[in-house]
């Protein structure tokens, strides 16, 4: 949820610009668009999908046309068999074997061809749908990866999951009935020709039903469209609420807020339920009517046909053929209705997908690589940063030099800008002014791989995957077990990992819930170290670790980095504990996004009252909690 109360990702394409600026999108997903405009956009979406899957869609459409043609041929064979097999058999009192075999062969041939058409229509049509869904799921998730963190901060995770899953499926769901609709249009044309050839009068009488059927169908879609669109938008809302509830399960349980979360989820569920019931209510009114009208047409044709056969104006086979064709052409009209009924939902889904794909703010990278090995030198020059829509800078006039191979501690009260500095160093965000340099090279000039290889950030929140210890530490890096154990030893995690049931092969469970907070943080540190970064940034990454263990970890870092020929990374740590800060070569005190004091822990303790008050307050607060 944004600060202004809106839920991003629900806007149509026309509102994408407004959404990026923070304006509230329309909850229904279609804004003030008219049904005609929705249909035009829906047909544009159909054209896009067909162009992307031309060959497979053509095959499925040909299969559907074959199915339609064979359905009409079935009616012709039925009429022919009535006049040439059934009537002569009744008249002669015996069955003509030759004619019977011809009829059987005709029925079998038509049935086989129709089955082939069904297979091509359903199988290939399904492949078209699933390929489009897979393609756009990949496009959406790849877009997530290139969009900057500032964009992700404005969009709830549940909504992003809905965009990549339910909305992509909704956007292309119309392609499931589409091949059938294309084929039955051909069936409709062929059936009309066959009926006119059989009996013009009966055909014209029966066709009176179809204008009414089309009129009702159009009215049905106009009434249903906004209701279906709103229901699709509410699915995204429900997904966002569910994700927050599940993600914050520990907070909810520890604070005893289960009833409140249940009520919040129930409200979203009830709203979606009511929207779906409204859609179902409309369908319950029109579906029986749309099914009944063609049957009334068939009944009218039979009544009039009996009179025409009695008067000699028509043959019984013609009446049977026309009546049968009316029963089969009623289905094509319904299939076309399915496509028209699915279009509004597809437009909503596409708008929500397109709002991601058209989002701006991709972070460009340069083409430079870093030279050299070992710890890197870090410089921040006149850096300023402001969050979107904020009225003041979080950092302003920020200058900092961190020598290669040093351990520097950032200290400051809440909101002083410490975490913002850590996000700038890993290029999760870029400064609004100034430069961040690594070995004299602006991070914006480096390739994405160069930044990822040189800088490792261990944030406040530790995230472990539902995988083994080995995979959580290596995380796709091509390293052997020896390197993994070396990283674990450095962060004092080797002992507890060795005690796990399967060691490195132990499955940790979702978010590493089988481990304590301190153990999870040490694995996150090992994950950063195993990549051999040149700059290691720790944002309160040892807050859950025992103070004595934390000091051993930082002492190990310092031993690896200090002095000539150091192989460890330069370390920048957001620290709170006095004993930990004392291990740093340099301590930087931040206040309101600026550096106000700098020196060693001893120097600052002697000369800065605000520094003493701050670090003493941290220790007192920790003692009070314990």
**Tokens coding 108:** 């079998």
Give the pLDDT of residue 221. Answer: 67
Domain final residue pick, 357, 389, 411: 357
Domain that holds residue 612: 378-464+535-625
User: Which is more confident, 228 or 173?
Assistant: 173
**Under 8 Å between Cβ of 202 and 195:** yes
Asked if residue 485 is part of any domain, the answer here is no
Per-chain mean pLDDT for the chain: 78
Q: Are residues 268 and 387 in the same domain?
A: no
DSSP character at residue 468: B
Residue 211 has pLDDT above 80, yes or no: no
Q: Are residues 353 and 425 in the same domain?
A: no
Q: Are residues 102 and 196 in the same domain?
A: yes
Q: What is the CA radius of gyration of the chain?
A: 35
Rank 78-87, 142-151, 331-340 by mean pLDDT and report only the highest: 142-151
Asked if residue 502 is part of any domain, the answer here is no
Interacting residues of 108 by C-beta distance below 8 A, sequence separation 6+: none
Indicate which CATH number applies to the domain containing 208: 1.20.1560.10
Q: Are residues 95 and 153 in the same domain?
A: yes
Asked if residue 9 is part of any domain, the answer here is no
Question: What whole-number distance in Å separates Cα of residue 433 and Cα of residue 386?
Answer: 9
Q: Are residues 100 and 200 in the same domain?
A: yes
User: What is the average pLDDT across 27-43?
Assistant: 62
Question: What whole-number distance in Å separates Cα of residue 52 and Cα of residue 529?
Answer: 44
Asked if residue 290 is part of any domain, the answer here is yes
Q: Are residues 460 and 313 in the same domain?
A: no
**Under 8 Å between Cβ of 20 and 172:** no
Cα–Cα distances (Å) from 542 to 145, 378, 410, 580, in that order, read 27, 22, 14, 10
Burial 90-112 (b: 16+ CB within 10 A, else e): eeeeeeeeebeebbeebeeebee
Domain final residue pick, 357, 390, 405: 357
Q: Are residues 189 and 140 in the same domain?
A: yes
Q: Select from 47, 8, 2, 16 the least CA-distant residue to 354.
A: 16
Question: What whole-number distance in Å separates Cα of residue 569 and Cα of residue 557?
Answer: 8
Residue 506 has pLDDT above 80, yes or no: yes
Asked if residue 137 is part of any domain, the answer here is yes
Burial 465-474 (b: 16+ CB within 10 A, else e): eebbbbbbbb
Q: Are residues 353 and 385 in the same domain?
A: no
| Percent helix / strand / coil, the chain, rounded to 5 | 65, 10, 25
**Under 8 Å between Cβ of 16 and 354:** yes
Asked if residue 480 is part of any domain, the answer here is no
**Tokens coding 421:** 């500095």
Rank 10-19, 110-119, 238-247 by mean pLDDT and report only the highest: 110-119
Q: Are residues 549 and 454 in the same domain?
A: yes
Q: Are residues 149 and 288 in the same domain?
A: yes
Cα–Cα distances (Å) from 49 to 136, 178, 185, 327, 520, in that order, read 11, 11, 19, 32, 45
**Under 8 Å between Cβ of 118 and 71:** no
Interacting residues of 127 by C-beta distance below 8 A, sequence separation 6+: 56
Q: Are residues 546 and 613 in the same domain?
A: yes
What's the number of domains the chain is made of?
Answer: 2
Asked if residue 370 is part of any domain, the answer here is no
Asked if residue 319 is part of any domain, the answer here is yes
User: What is the average pLDDT across 386-397?
Assistant: 81
Q: By mean pLDDT, which of 254-263, 378-387, 447-456, 542-551 is the weakest? A: 542-551
**Tokens coding 191:** 């059936």
Q: Are residues 417 and 276 in the same domain?
A: no
Using one digit for the tens of pLDDT, what is the confidence trace for 550-601?
A: 778 877 777 766 544 556 788 898 887 777 788 888 999 998 888 888 998 8
User: What is the average pLDDT across 361-372?
Assistant: 80
Domain final residue pick, 357, 387, 416: 357
Q: By mean pLDDT, which of 18-27, 492-501, 557-566, 613-622 is the weakest? A: 18-27
Interacting residues of 415 by C-beta distance below 8 A, sequence separation 6+: none
Q: Show the 3-state SS of 351-402.
A: HHHHHHHCCCCCCCCCCECCCCCCCCCEEEEEEEECCCCCCCCCEEEEEEEE
């Amino acid at each position: 949820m944004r600060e202004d109360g809106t839920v991003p990702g629900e806007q149509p394409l026309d509102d994408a610009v407004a959404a990026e600026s923070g304006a509230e999108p329309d909850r229904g997903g279609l804004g003030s668009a008219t049904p005609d405009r929705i249909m035009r956009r829906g047909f544009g979406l159909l054209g896009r999908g067909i162009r992307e899957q031309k060959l497979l869609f053509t095959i499925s459409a040909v299969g559907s046309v074959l199915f339609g043609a064979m359905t009409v041929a079935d009616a012709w064979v039925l009429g022919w068999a009535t006049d040439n097999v059934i009537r002569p058999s009744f008249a002669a009192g015996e069955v003509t074997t030759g004619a019977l075999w011809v009829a059987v062969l005709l029925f079998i041939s038509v049935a086989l061809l129709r089955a082939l058409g069904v297979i091509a229509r359903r199988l290939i049509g399904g492949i078209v749908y699933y390929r489009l869904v897979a393609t756009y799921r990949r496009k959406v998730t790849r877009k997530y990866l290139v969009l900057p963190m500032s964009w992700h901060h404005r969009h709830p995770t549940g909504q992003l999951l809905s965009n990549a899953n339910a909305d992509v499926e909704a956007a292309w769901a119309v392609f499931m009935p589409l091949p059938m609709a294309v084929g039955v249009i051909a069936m409709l044309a062929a059936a009309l020709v066959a009926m006119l050839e059989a009996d013009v009068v009966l055909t014209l009488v029966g066709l009176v039903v179809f204008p009414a059927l089309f009129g009702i169908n159009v009215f049905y879609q106009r009434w249903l469209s906004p209701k279906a669109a709103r229901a699709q938008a509410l699915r995204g809302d429900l997904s966002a609420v569910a994700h927050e509830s599940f993600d914050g399960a520990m907070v909810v349980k520890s604070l005893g807020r289960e009833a409140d979360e249940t009520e919040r989820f129930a409200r979203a569920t009830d709203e979606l339920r009511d929207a779906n019931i409204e859609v179902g209510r409309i369908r319950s009114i029109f579906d029986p009517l749309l099914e009944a009208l063609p049957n009334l047409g068939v009944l009218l044709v039979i009544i009039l046909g009996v009179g025409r056969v009695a008067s000699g104006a028509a043959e019984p086979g013609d009446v049977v053929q026309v009546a049968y064709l009316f029963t089969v052409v009623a289905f094509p009209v319904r299939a076309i209705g399915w496509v028209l009924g699915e279009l509004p939902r597809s437009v909503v889904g596409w708008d929500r997908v397109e709002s991601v794909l058209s989002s701006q703010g991709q972070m460009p990278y340069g083409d430079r690589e870093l030279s050299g090995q070992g710890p890197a030198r870090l410089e921040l020059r006149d850096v300023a940063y402001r969050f979107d829509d904020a009225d003041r800078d979080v950092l302003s006039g920020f200058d900092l030099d961190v020598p290669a191979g040093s351990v520097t501690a950032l200290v400051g009260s809440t909101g002083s800008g410490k975490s913002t500095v850590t996000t700038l160093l890993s290029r999760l965000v870029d400064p609004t002014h100034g430069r961040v340099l690594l070995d004299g090279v602006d991070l914006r000039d480096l390739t994405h791989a160069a930044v990822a290889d040189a800088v490792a950030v261990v944030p406040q929140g530790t995230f472990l995957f539902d995988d083994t210890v080995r995979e959580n530490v290596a995380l796709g890096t091509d390293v052997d077990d020896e390197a993994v154990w070396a990283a674990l030893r450095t962060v004092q995690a080797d002992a507890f990992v060795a005690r796990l049931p399967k060691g490195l092969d132990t499955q940790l469970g979702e978010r590493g819930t089988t481990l304590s907070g301190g153990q999870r943080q040490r694995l996150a540190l090992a994950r950063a170290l195993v990549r051999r970064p040149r700059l290691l940034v720790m944002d309160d990454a040892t807050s859950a670790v025992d103070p004595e263990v934390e000091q051993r970890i930082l002492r190990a870092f310092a031993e690896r980095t200090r002095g000539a020929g150091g192989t460890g990374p330069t370390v920048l740590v957001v620290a709170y504990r006095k004993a930990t800060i004392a291990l740093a070569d340099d301590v930087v005190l931040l206040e309101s996004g600026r550096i106000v004091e700098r020196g060693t822990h001893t120097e600052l303790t002697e000369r800065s009252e605000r520094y003493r008050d701050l670090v003493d307050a941290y220790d007192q607060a920790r003692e009070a909690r314990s």
